Chains A and B, each alone.
Chain A
Amino acid sequence: MQITVEKKGETARLVLNGRFDFSSHREFRNACDEALQTPEIKEIEANFSRVDYLDSSALGMLLLLREKAQNANLKVSLTNCTGLVQQVLDVANFQRLFTIS
């Protein structure tokens, strides 16, 4: 998976591209750290418009991001979730944990 980090004002947008599974572990962590370590960032948006698959380890990585963001008082949202991505997030009831659109 490829991830680009777009920082604009107080928001960091992580644009994810491809299959989000265990092999994306390092890239995802690096992208999260980049966003978390930028002092002016108040909100992280993970954009799923170009993600065609995510597995349970991807859900685990999102939980880690949520924990780190909570510790730093940042908001996390998951955006452009459609198709299979939306189904997986629905079954896991992640709307109870994240703002999802």
Chain B
Amino acid sequence: MDKPLNILVVDDTEPNLALISAFISRLGHTTILARNGQEAVDFYRDSVPDMVLMDVMMPVMDGYQATAEIRKLAGNKWVPVIFLSAKAQDSDLVRGLQVGGDDYLTKPINLPILQAKIRAMQRIAEMQRDIAEKAEQLELYHAENEREQNLAKHLLERIIRAHKPNDPMVEQLVLPATRFSGDIIATEFTPNNILHVILADSAGHGLSAALNVLPVVEVFYGMTKKGYSLSTIVRELNSKIKQLMPTERFVAAALAAINFSERTIEVWNGGMPTAYFVDDKGKIMREWRAAHPPMGIMNNVDFLSKTETFQWNEPGRLFLYSDGLVEAENDAGERFGTDRVLQALKEECDQGQFWYLIAAANQFMGLDSATDDISIAAIHCPMAPVGEVIVQPEQPSATPVEPSESRLALKLSPLELKSFDVLPWLITWLNQLHFNQRQCQEMFLILSELYNNALDHGVLALESGLKHQEDGFGRYLDMREERLVGLQHGAIEIELERVQENQVPCLKLRIRDSGKGFHADAILNTDISSSTRPAGRGIVLVKTLCAEVKYPGCGNEVIALYRLQ
């Protein structure tokens, strides 16, 4: 049994109306009866029937006009209209269909055929209704999806700090292939003014790839601000991604630490295209091939966090980019390729090779039509140090520093000296003592200078003069690594203590190493403004930040006093 319908029957002849309505009632449907076109339109408006059987020739309004009106009233909803007419010419039938009729039966009515037509129309109407419902659902779903994607995009951009103002030393471009980018570029300074940069490319693209880079940026920003080294950050990133993501997902990344005062670039490249240092004349001075698998694949034991360091002696730029750039194809199916990247980087041009590279890529394939995410970063590396702490006259602190007698002392033996990233750990402790941000930053700088001196020149007995010879830096690093790996004996003791000196709250820092010591007096008496870049520049900087710096013994022990107010 078909679903009962409510059928509007329109005819100006009473016997016809009676016959048809009786027949339809027998089929189990209900009827509404109209005696001319105008009534048909009015009744349609009032009761919205499921189907219309329409006579053609009627007083007041004929069936053609009534059908046209009903179609207008129905809008998107489809209501089957079958003409029942004594007019049997082909032209009548055509006109009926043109004004919006769906079928045409000639009088006298053959009742079995009418029944079949009603049933056929009913089937089509049900199908139409189904489709309309699905279309409506789809539209709702689409609108909902649009809202959710906009929210997700908003959140993701906040989390990855997409709107963070660029560091002036960094030029960058990220072009997502879809609304969401699986590529990200993030930059942040450590407390001792080392610029960390990450360019990461999560496998795939779109929302799922974008989600994968969230933990990456969180860890990167957080650990950089706390002063962790590149190696420690990379190791943490790898283990985080491995822990969070399914086996088949990973994140390729290149990370760099740029020390503008030492003029060094340290790079870890896991699964990214080769990174280049290009001088301002367009000469490629150094390349960093992918030395590791992407992050999130190796387990912690097999993971290698080894970085490669370079010192620049000519101003230039460090270039990092994702494989979306190299693999981008033009209309002819050619790839942009590494050769074209290198070609663009070798150009000497006024605005720098970054924009030249982008212009070249854009000319080759039209960057807006890329099918994979593309990201490019260039870090400007000048000869003069940037971002160095500018020593300002001490501002009297508004809030008095609470008195305290806390003291932290620790001793590091060869095992810890080889692998333990001790400075962020100390800073975490200092942070608990409620110093302000500037104080923490300065203390980090003091600590890192003095600790590195104790390790390099004390325990490892490296000559600092070596660094400043021609090509000496590479040899210095090699020697440092060799001695550190083979280190059997030696220690560094660190002591941090809150003290009152002449009623002024201070932090007293003492570092003692197992080395032979050195003649500190000459360096301590150097004026910072005259020291261009000699050995001992770090100690001079420390001296300007501290109330007092002294080497009481043979030079293997340093005591620095930092005023907290």
Contact = CB atoms under 8 A, between A and B. Distances in A.
B204 A57 contact: yes
B248 A57 contact: yes
A59 to B, nearest CB: 7
A56 B297 contact: no
Given A56-B204, A63-B297, A93 B291 contact: yes
29 contacts: A22-B204, A56-B250, A57-B204, A59-B250, A60-B203, A60-B248, A60-B249, A60-B250, A63-B247, A63-B248, A63-B297, A67-B247, A90-B290, A91-B272, A91-B290, A91-B323, A92-B271, A92-B290, A92-B293, A92-B294, A93-B270, A93-B290, A93-B292, A93-B293, A94-B293, A96-B292, A96-B298, A96-B302, A97-B293
A72 interface: no
Contacts of B352: none
Which of A56, A60, A61, A63 has the most C-beta atoms of chain B within 10 angstroms of its own C-beta?
A56
Interface of B: 203-204, 247-250, 252, 270-273, 290-294, 297-298, 302, 323
Given A67-B247, A91-B273, A56 B203 contact: yes
Contacts of B271: 91-93
Contacts of B302: 96
A96 B293 contact: yes
B297 A97 contact: yes
Interface of A: 22, 56-57, 59-61, 63-64, 67, 90-94, 96-97
A64 B293 contact: no
B83 to A, nearest CB: 51
B266 to A, nearest CB: 19
Contact of A59 (B203, B270, B291, B292): B203
Contacts of A64: 247-248
Nearest to A67: B247
Nearest to A92: B271
Nearest to B323: A91
A95 B294 CA distance: 12
The 4 closest A-B CB pairs, nearest first, are A60-B248, A56-B203, A93-B293, A92-B271
Contacts of B323: 91
A94 B293 CA distance: 6
A57 to B, nearest CB: 6
Contacts of B297: 63, 97
A61 B247 CA distance: 9
Nearest to A88: B323
Contacts of A60: 203, 247-250
A24 to B, nearest CB: 13
